[in-house]
A and B are shown apart, each in its own frame.
Chain A
Amino acid sequence: MRKKPGGVLGIVAVTAAVALSLSGCRGDGGGQGGGSASSPGITDSAITLGITTPLSGATAGPGKCTVAGVSAYFGAVNAAGGVKFGDGKTRTVNIKSYDDAYDPQKSLANFQQMVSDNVFAATAGLGTPTNRAFRDAAISQKVPQVLVMTGDPLFSDRKQSPWQLGFVPVYQNEGAAFGKLLAKSGAQHKVAILSQNDDYGKGYVAGFKDSIKGASNISVVGEQTYEATDTSVDAQLTQLASSGADVFFNAMSITPLTIASLQKAQQIGWKPIWFLPSNTSSPTAILEPGGAAAYPGIYSVSFAKAPQSPAFAKDPDVVKFLDELKQYGNYPDMPAFPHCMWSYMVGATLEKAFQNMKEPTRDSFMTALRDIKGLKAPLMLEGTSVDTTVDGQPAVSSVVVQKYNGKGYATAENFG
């Protein structure tokens, strides 16, 4: 039989009453945690870090690397007992990873999930829009978003981003390093520039042009741009080839396009010396399929030892890294993207900050993190180091120019 309306009304009343009384019970769900009490995500025996990064979609390759590197580093550290923190306690480090598929909306959702999962800090995530999407939320909830993989300078601006810190060099750093080497060579060079029409390409070109200002031996003879969504740059390449340049500065972030341009330039008989950004210069993923051996030289910049390179095949850092990547990082192959090495260094930088933090709080962590100078993280090349003390610069701002030697890269002291 049907219930009397009075019964249903009763349900309404009870529901409303329950809901309203529950509302009084809401505790501090956001978990800001201030003062000297420990922050969420850290106990006496463990600390939890979160990574939101693309694990599916077009950027999944580098994205998986960001998780693998950090997991490998702390996997080994945990196996050896954990990290001895500045407050005297030894803690193990847990990593939680979240897939954002390079979608800003999802990365924000993942950040909110992290807060509800009691994550101490977000780290190592890849992508400018995805990191920007939860930057404001991280600031307002006072959750560290540190050592993230983006060349966006905003993350290293202390005033605007008090709870953030970028890890990898900003685009300008890379362009400038190559420009300096080129200017130093003393020989006459004509440079053709192709760049992506966004902050990425503009950053590289700005850094490069700044560094060749006043160098009379370098002239820019052709400049073209392309859109990140373009599927072909053949027209631009043909035009740049006709400029007669002997050096080609290609600020391109799209893997297939880089391979295609390496092939196209050969086909039209233009064989300049190339410069490629660090994220599109992988020997196995880009240079080999692109037939890069045909060119007189391929230069890139790096701050990480490349495991593919024969020069580092027996390097103890590299051997240990590959071993741990296999064992703890769930990444059995030779890393195809530098992000694996970078995030491994993120692990080392975090460990250093943990060792220096006096209290188990996010405040104390940020203070410790911003006070690292001259740290030579494993896998770092000679001449580079982690320095978090300079405002406006990411944790790593020093890069060295490298030359492709047919298998991997070796540091180039001189151009040519």
Chain B
Amino acid sequence: MSTAATVRRPRVRMILTAVLAVALIAAPLALPAFANQTLIRIGVYAVAVLGLNIVMGYTGQVNLGQIFFVGLGAYVTAYGVNHGWNILLVFFAACAVAGLVGLLVALAAARLGGLAIAMVTIALPIVGVPLAKRLSDFTGGSQGTSARFTDAPDWSGLDNDQWQFYIVLVVSAAAFLLARSLVRGKYGRAFAAVRENEAVAASMGISPYRTKVLAFTIASIFGGASGFLYLAAVQYTSPETLSFGHSISLLAAMVIGGAGSIAGSLLGGAYYVFVPQLTNAIDPNLTTVSQGAILLAVLFLLPGGLVSLPRVVRRLTRRSATRRSTARPAAETSQQTPPAQHPVPDAAPEGPEQTERQDGP
């Protein structure tokens, strides 16, 4: 029996999930501080990429302003922490403020179709940076503002990095589970319909406008949550945080991780964090060049993003396996074919007349 099929059995899935959960909970205790800190930052950006994925990957609306919501969430968090708010209130405020601003922007932007949304969202980080510098009472101006609230409490007996890891783990796990349910349910189907064809979606009773606003708002809320995590991890934010270039990097991370994929968002977050570290290790003077090379290599070899890697590997191994033993029975070969690779089933007969579709190959 193939491994792919084994993984699909519900019981095995449950056990694998349990293993993963145990591993994640135990990991910070065993790993060195730097590994934890790296994982923390991956969590931060995975949530931001996840939000971007909901609006871009699932709903097909170009959003170039996600970093603005991350920065907004970070600023709200810093403000709340420095004014002694309860930390849960801070978290909800970070999400709510980002969501509210996202909603306002989306109400206007979603009326425009296609690339116009991209143009509106470009404006966000471009306006955001000078705004953050101007509103220095709130943001600390261009020197930025720091807020420490994630030092491990004494009773926990943990190091700061371990404590931060758990904070980030709780929030990002919740974000990923919520996103997963969202895209698998009614709204996920609405998102997909709007992405594929707005006219068709409208004919099915799905308002493309409302769906776009919803997706954009949810993406902003995720951005705000990511901003909260950013401050939990970095403990400092400045106008540089929301500069436009980072928004493009987030976008690249989403595409590289895998657009329209929950696991891809996590991979995207990992890419966003790992690649600068990797290129620093190669040669700190050539980071931009090597990052560009990695980006191109991934896009050439894995156009579906890193998340498609297992599929590609399976296809390659299968190809070489068939080459090795062409005498293998056809039944066994077809059993090994993962479902995604099945040929599209023939169209159902539509009527007594021969139609074009039935004539097709």
Interface of A toward B, CB cutoff 8 Å: 1-2, 5, 8-9, 11-12, 15-16, 19-20, 22-23, 25-26, 29-30, 55-57, 64, 67, 97-99, 101-106, 108-110, 112-113, 115-116, 128-130, 132-133, 135-137, 140, 152, 154, 197-200, 227-229, 330
- Cβ-defined partner of B32 (8 Å) among A110, A116, A129, A137: A116
Task: State whether A103 and B246 are in contact (beta carbons under 8 Å apart), knowing that A12-B15, A15-B23 are contacts in the complex.
Answer: yes
B144 touches A132 (CB 8 A): yes
Interface residues in chain B, defined as those with a beta carbon under 8 Å from any beta carbon in chain A: 1, 6, 9, 11-12, 15-16, 18-19, 22-23, 26-27, 29-30, 32-34, 37-38, 41, 126, 129-130, 133-134, 141-144, 146, 148, 151, 159-160, 230, 234-241, 243, 245-246, 273, 276-277, 279-280, 284-285, 287-288
Residues of B with C-beta under 8 A to A197: 133-134
A12→B19 contact, CB < 8 A: yes
Complex A-B: 28 CB contacts under 8 Å: A1-B1, A12-B19, A20-B29, A23-B26, A23-B30, A26-B32, A30-B159, A56-B288, A67-B284, A103-B246, A104-B240, A105-B234, A105-B241, A109-B37, A109-B273, A112-B33, A116-B34, A128-B143, A129-B143, A129-B238, A132-B144, A133-B234, A135-B146, A135-B236, A199-B141, A227-B134, A229-B129, A229-B130
* Closest beta carbon of chain A to B88's beta carbon, Å: 23
| Besides A101-B276, A132-B143, A199-B141, 9 new A-B residue pairs in contact (Cβ under 8 A), listed by A number | A15-B26, A23-B29, A29-B33, A55-B287, A67-B284, A99-B280, A99-B287, A103-B240, A116-B32
CA distance A198 to B144 in the complex (A): 11
Distance in Å: Cβ of B299 to nearest Cβ of chain A: 20
User: Given A23-B29, A109-B41, A112-B37, are A12 and B133 also a contact pair (CB < 8 Å)?
Assistant: no
Residue in A1, A56, A137, A200 whose beta carbon sits within 8 Å of that of B287 in the complex: A56
The interface residues of chain B lying within 8 Å CB-to-CB of A64 are 285
Indicate if the CB atoms of B22 and A15 lie closer than 8 Å: yes
Contacts of A198 in B (CB 8 A): 133, 141-142
User: Are B148 and A8 interface neighbours, CB within 8 A?
Assistant: no
A108 adjacent to B234 (CB under 8 Å): yes
Bound form: Cα–Cα A136–B22 in Å: 32
In Å, the complex CA distance between A109 and B234 comes to 9
A115-B133 in contact given A26-B29, A99-B287, A129-B238 (Cβ < 8 Å): no
Select from chain B the residue with minimum beta-carbon distance to A153.
B143
Asked, given contacts A55-B284, A109-B41, A132-B144, whether A19 binds B29 with beta carbons under 8 Å apart, the answer is yes
Q: Is B236's CB under 8 angstroms from A133's CB?
A: yes
Measured CB to CB, the closest approach of chain B to A287, in angstroms, equals 26
* Bound-state Cα–Cα, A113 to B288, Å: 19
Chain B residues with Cβ below 8 Å from A330 are: 285
When the two chains form their complex, are residues B234 and A29 in contact, meaning their CB atoms are under 8 A apart? no
Residues from chain B with a CB closer than 8 A to the CB of A103 are: 240, 243, 246
The answer on a CB contact under 8 Å between A228 and B143 is no
Contact B34 A112, beta carbon cutoff 8 Å: yes
Are A104 and B234 interface neighbours, CB within 8 A?
yes
Q: Considering the chains assembled together, what is the distance between the CA atoms of A376 and B341 in angstroms?
A: 73
Q: Are B130 and A199 in contact (CB under 8 A)?
A: no
Given contacts A55-B287, A104-B144, A132-B236, contact A9 B15 (CB under 8 A): yes
Residue of B nearest to A19 (CB): B26
Return chain B residues, CB-CB under 8 Å to A20.
Answer: 26, 29
Look across to chain B and name the residue whose beta carbon is closest to the beta carbon of A150.
B143
Residues of B within 8 A of A133 (CB): 144, 234, 236, 238
Q: Which residues of B contact A97 (CB under 8 A)?
A: 284-285
The answer to whether A113 and B284 touch across the interface, beta carbons within 8 angstroms, is: no
Which B residues are in CB contact (< 8 Å) with A30? Answer: 33, 159
Q: Which residues of A contact B23 (CB under 8 A)?
A: 15, 19
How long is the Cα–Cα vector from A63 to B134 in the complex, in angstroms?
Answer: 26
Q: Is the CB of A115 within 8 A of B234?
A: no
Known contacts A55-B287, A116-B34: A128-B142 contact under CB 8 Å: yes
Contact across chains for B29 and A22 when beta carbons are under 8 A apart: yes
The verdict on A106 contacting B12 (CB below 8 Å), with A55-B284, A64-B285, A198-B141 known, is no
User: A104, B238: Cβ atoms under 8 Å?
Assistant: yes
For residue B33, which residues in chain A have a CB less than 8 angstroms away from its CB?
29-30, 112, 115-116
Q: Are B32 and A136 in contact (CB under 8 A)?
A: no
Q: Which residues of B contact A2 (CB under 8 A)?
A: 1, 6, 9, 12
Q: Are B30 and A19 in contact (CB under 8 A)?
A: yes
* Chain A residue at smallest Cβ distance from B12: A8
- Determine if A227 and B133 form an interchain contact, defined as CB atoms under 8 angstroms apart: yes
